[in-house]
Amino acid sequence: MYFKRGVLVISFSEYQDLASELNHHAYLYYTLDQAEISDLDYDKKYRILQDFESQHPHHILPHSPTQRIADKPLTSFPPFLHSSPMMSLNNIFNESEFLSFYKRLQKELNQAQLSCVIEPKIDGLAVAIRYENGILVSAGTRGDGKTGETVTQNIKTIRSLPLVLKKPVSIEVRGEVYIKKSIFNRLLKDQFANPRNAASGAIRQLDSKITAKRRLDIFIYAGDKTLVGSHTETLKTLSELGFPVIPYVVTAHSEQEIFKGIQTLERDKSAFDFYTDGAVIKLNQFSDQETMGYTQKAPRWAMAYKFKSEEAPTVIEDIVVQVGRTGVLTPVAYLKPILVGGVTISRATLHNQEEIQRKDLQIGDRVLVHRAGDVIPEIIAVDQKGLQRRPFVMPDHCPVCGGPILKEGVQHRCMAPFCKAQLKGRLLHMASRKALDIQGLGEKLVSQLIDQGLIKALPDVFKLKIFDLMQLERMGEKSADQLLKSLEKCKTISFSKFLFALGIPLIGEKTALSLSFRFKTLENMMAAGFQEFKNIPDIGEKTALLLQETFQNATFKELIDAFHSLGFVLMEDRVSQSGPLSGYTFLFTGTLSGLSRAEAELKVQEKGGKIQRVVSKGLSHLVVGENPGSKLEDVTKRNLSGAHIQILSETDFLTLIHS
């Protein structure tokens, strides 16, 4: 080490030592919260490292602290193949369900007492990370459990995660990426709905410089099971290697101890600097885990105990009526913003006037709110009546267009045919991914186009010219040109997607596909009558009557003629009578993550398979998504009684239809 023209020059060996020293200080600071040197001294050493690398770019170490951020943005994420399935956990919600789980473990393991661990369920994003000879080489998201996305550069931006381990071992670890409460509340709460969305979006940024700005963190909760014999020993080994391991882990040996551990985590969760929505209970000994085994999607030796939804008091500042694409008026409560479960809530849907009256809600009341299913904001009840509370009354006329209102059951509907609110809703629906998928046509642009009179009916969007778009706020020539190209591309579309895009009440993706398969063309469908519609599976009398009235309506016929005159070409949805799935019948349960239910069913039919709606004797395959319903339990019972219905995960299903 010497100076040359005022610049400190170091050898490659000294550079290696300096990289290791800086990684050590980063571990002390970000993982242990124990700094040994000042920020100024760290920055000086970091600058020396940068100077060496700028002069010797071919000698840069992959675990150098400068490599936490890539120089150039990626163009896409390559696939990441998991070494073993990266499963999710089944959920339980109360003490009774926990006891059932515990007693099942006791029975199948034939043990009176079980060694279990309880740890917080981090509300983050699951990832897998690989090290070779102690150096971080790759990382990927969960994806479908077998294949995720490679996000190595973004993972490297996490300062608490070591780029090089304390021992030169080769290992794959699993962890949860999250954002600390303190970081989110100070830097990001005005930009994102919640920390999980911010973390998830950051991991999937093509530019790691943007990821670095989110200040991500990570907890490692699993590693190589061959190294030791239990989960607690694994965490100890991982910590010794330099990983930030999952905190607040408790070992318990009875159902009482375990449930006490769960209650303690739920009681103390507000004090943690991370968001948690539950506790994970798992068998500690790996030998016990192997004995219990796995289902298609989850380990049988672990469960996630979901905490009760967090409640918080706030005030109803106003109740405003919104008008949807079908004309239905929906009252929405505007709330004094409140943080609930890591999410700022400022609005909650009240559904209808009867719901408001049932809960005795009035403007000015202090109410309790939570997130139903940890997602949807909901007012539970009045916490304290306001001193100057004002009742809400549904308007006599549409608040947007002034049109007449018709009461249908508990719903109020605007009957004006040219209501701008309905037109905005219908246009956004038509532009959505599951419909025409019009790229660049978002909510703000739709509002501008309709408010300025450029669009008065759905087909008008396909009549737009570049000079129409250029006069709009924040619309440049490039964006305008891209939108026009997207609109032109949408003119060739499948019959079912076009039908779904029209936004006819009661016509969702499934019904649109059923109509497409039955009638083949729009002309055949519009000539059909009530009985023909009613004979289609899943279409009842109400929907059949609606279809007949809609297709015989003169205004609707004019709408279809307008689309035809614009050059729309409707492609027939393909359904094969023969193919690799011919003779097989499929039923779906739960939520699919990679594609919609309608898209999945279409793929089956394209391969010659048939779709079933209920569990019955002729069923050959059950495809299970997230949060499956009673169909899974029914099929399991039938198989135990001698049936041979194959149960497929979403990954298995995708493999089958692409083979």
Give the catalytic positions in this structure.
121
Q: Would you call 390 helix, strand, or coil by DSSP? A: strand
**Nearby residues of 361 by Cβ (< 8 Å), 6 or more positions away:** 316, 319, 333, 350, 367, 379, 382, 392
Query: Structure tokens of 122?
Result: 């981090």
Look up residue 496 and give its two tokens. 């079912």
Q: Could you tell me the two tokens for 504?
A: 């006819």
Question: Closest by alpha carbon to 313, among 390, 374, 392, 382?
Answer: 382
162 φ, ψ (degrees, to nearest 5): -70, 135
Q: How far from 557 is each of 402, 458, 517, 563, CA to CA, in Å?
A: 26, 13, 21, 10
d(CA 156, CA 477): 38
- The alpha carbon of 108 is separated from its chain's Cα centroid by a whole number of angstroms, namely 35
Q: How far apart are CA 553 and CA 153, in angstroms?
A: 57
- Nearest CA to 424 among 398, 444, 439? 444
Q: How many CB atoms lie within 10 A of CB 26?
A: 19
Q: CB–CB of 88/626 below 8 Å?
A: yes
**Residue closest to 70 by CA, chosen among 198, 218, 210:** 210
**Cβ–Cβ under 8 Å, residues 305 and 262:** yes
Q: Are strands 276-283 and 329-340 parallel, antiparallel or unpaired?
A: unpaired
Helices (H), 166-207: 181-183, 195-203
Burial class (CB in 10 A: 0-12, 13-18, 19+), 56: exposed
CB atoms within 10 A of CB 335: 20
Report CA Rg, the chain.
29
